Each structure stands twice: as structure tokens, then as C-alpha cells.
Amino acid sequence: MTTYRKISIISIIAVFIIIISFQKSIREEYSNLAKITAEASLIDFSFADAEFEPIVFYSDSIKIAGKIFNNPKRIKAPTIIILHGTHVLGKDQPLVLSLAKEFQKKDYNVLIFDFRGYNESEDPKAVNSIDDLNFAEDVVSAINFLKEYPKVDTSKIFILGHSFGAGVSLSAMNQIDCVKKYILFGAPRRVTERIISYSSKDRNQLIYKSINNLQLSYSVDSTILIEGIQKRNIENYISLINQPSFNARFFLIDGSKEDPKDISFYKEMAAKLYPKANYYSIPGSDHYLNTGYFLDRPTYSKQMITHFVNKVDAWLKQT
């Protein structure tokens, strides 16, 4: 066989393989599209129909930007503060907005705000120590704002913290005696194993994420961020919560798609805190309740968010 014929045969085989691969790719693409289309009936693109009032308060002289979603009945009502996780959009990420919207429908006031350095809130002038990133003080300032807000039943102020925000709520507990119920969705845990240890495969990624999402105009020493991450670890607060004089209640919530080790550990934490804590896993949920973006548009699963809100609402009313 001539060299030319060998090359021709090889070329034909290569083209055939490319065609087969392309057809497979097309089938997979249509399959993915079908999945997206099937779920589209559960996806809500609209956040515009939720009424809110832009607000501002100050924390350590830093301007904090927020929104309050008022109870539609316009009476003094129970109020939920939603504390955002580590996300470049802070309070304006789909998870926080969708929860605020649905809790408002349940006749709650809902306050959301950006922690210092995040999104629309001002940056600290500098970050030379962990005190400059005193996110717990932002929570205290938010409570003080609500105490002066006319539509708030100050005897029923609750905190729902997601991820980093759940950790911040734990670090603020000693300063906010008026809050008796905390919802901790995906709170920080196993921090030494997952982040602090140099052998952790996620260490650099999580530290970079913490720095990047702050969007500060200056650099921050990673050791300061690590100190803050350690401080917000749920394991640090077991003994405090279990003290007889500490009478707050906790609802620990996870998504069923979380790392099985994290889920198991979180259940153990709830068991150590019982009867002051309850645990629940949201079926089919990831760390963000399956919220995200579809073609650059913020989206959420109506079914998933409603299920979460109903569970929390029932817990708040029963405990």
C-alpha cells in the first residue's frame, strides 16, 4: 500500500471519528437542554414584584447598605435578618433575594444588608487586624437599626445566616441578647481540616475566594482572613450554647448534596446542642439551595425556596 493511500485511509477514519464524536456531543447537548427545559417550570426569574425599601446604617462609622422587605400588612411584625455568605454580590445574590421575597409573603419583615467591604457597603479604611473586619459589629448595628424601625416587633427578631453569614451570627451572639432564634444554613465547620491545614486541597481556593469576594481596593494579609475563618467555626460555640443561662434556639440546616462528611459532622453538632438545636437536610439542595444564574439572569427554584421557607416558618412558630 502506498504512503498516499495510507494517509487517505487514516484521514477517512479520523473524519469518521470526528463525526461520531460530534453526533454524541449533539445528543448530550440536547439531553442537557431537555433537563434545563424540564426544570424551567420550577425556575423563577422575577425579583421585581417584591417590595423593599433601601436603607443605610453605620457600623464603626462604616456605611452599610441594605434593603428591608416590609410585611405587606404594614403592622409591627416578626423580622428576619438574612446574613449573606461569601459572595461578590453580598445581599443581592439570588439566594438572599429569593428568600427575602418568600419570607415577606409569609408576613415577615426581612432585612438584608452587605457586610462591610462587600458589594454596596463601604470598605474599612484599612485591614491591619481582625478587628477591622468586625462583621459581628455589623450585625449588632443592624439590630440597633431595627429597634428604631416602626414596623418591627422587637421581641421577635430572628437571624438566618448562610455559610459565612451563619458563622458571623455565632460570633455576634454574646452581643445580641434580644435574638432568641437562629437559623444556621450551611454554617462553617471542620475548618481546620478543610481550610486551615496546609494539607487541605481546598485551602488556597477558599482563601482566594474570601479575598476576591470582598472586592477591597487594597490587599489583605491572608493570615487575618484565616483568623476570622477560625473564629466563625461552629465547633467554637458548643460550650457557650450549652450553658444553662444561654437560652437561644438553633435550627441547623444543610442541603442533601453537601459533602457527606460535612453533613455527618453537622448532625453531630446538632446532637451535641440538643434540645437547644434541631437539624434538617433539604432534599436535593446544594449549598445555595440550587439558586444561581441562567444565561446571566438570577434564578431560583420556586419549589426549593418555598420548601425551605415553610420549614423555617414552622420551626419559628413551634419552638
- Residue 138 CA, distance from chain mean position: 17
Least confident among 81-90, 104-113, 128-137, 296-305: 296-305
What residues are paired with 183 via a beta bridge? 160, 251
| pLDDT of amino acid 214 | 85
Look up the pTM and report it: 0.84
What mean pLDDT comes out for the span 130-147?
97
The reply to whether 260 and 155 lie within a common domain is yes
Q: Which residues have C-beta within 8 Å of that of residue 88, sequence separation ≥ 6?
A: 118, 119, 212, 213, 215
**Containing structural domain, residue 283:** 48-317
Asked whether the predicted pLDDT for residue 191 surpasses 90, the reply is no
The reply to whether 268 and 154 lie within a common domain is yes
Q: Could you tell me which residue, 250 or 188, shows the higher pLDDT?
A: 250
The reply to whether 67 and 17 lie within a common domain is no
pLDDT band (50, 70, 90) for residue 28: very low
Asked whether the predicted pLDDT for residue 20 surpasses 90, the reply is no
User: What is the number of structural domains in the chain?
Assistant: 2
Instruction: Give the integer Cα–Cα distance in Å for 192 and 198.
Output: 9
Instruction: State the chain's mean pLDDT as an integer.
Output: 85
Q: Per-residue pLDDT tens for 75-91? A: 899 999 999 999 999 99
Instruction: Give the integer Cα–Cα distance in Å for 160 and 141.
Output: 16
The reply to whether 131 and 238 lie within a common domain is yes
The reply to whether 40 and 72 lie within a common domain is no
The reply to whether 85 and 166 lie within a common domain is yes
Radius of gyration of the chain (CA): 23
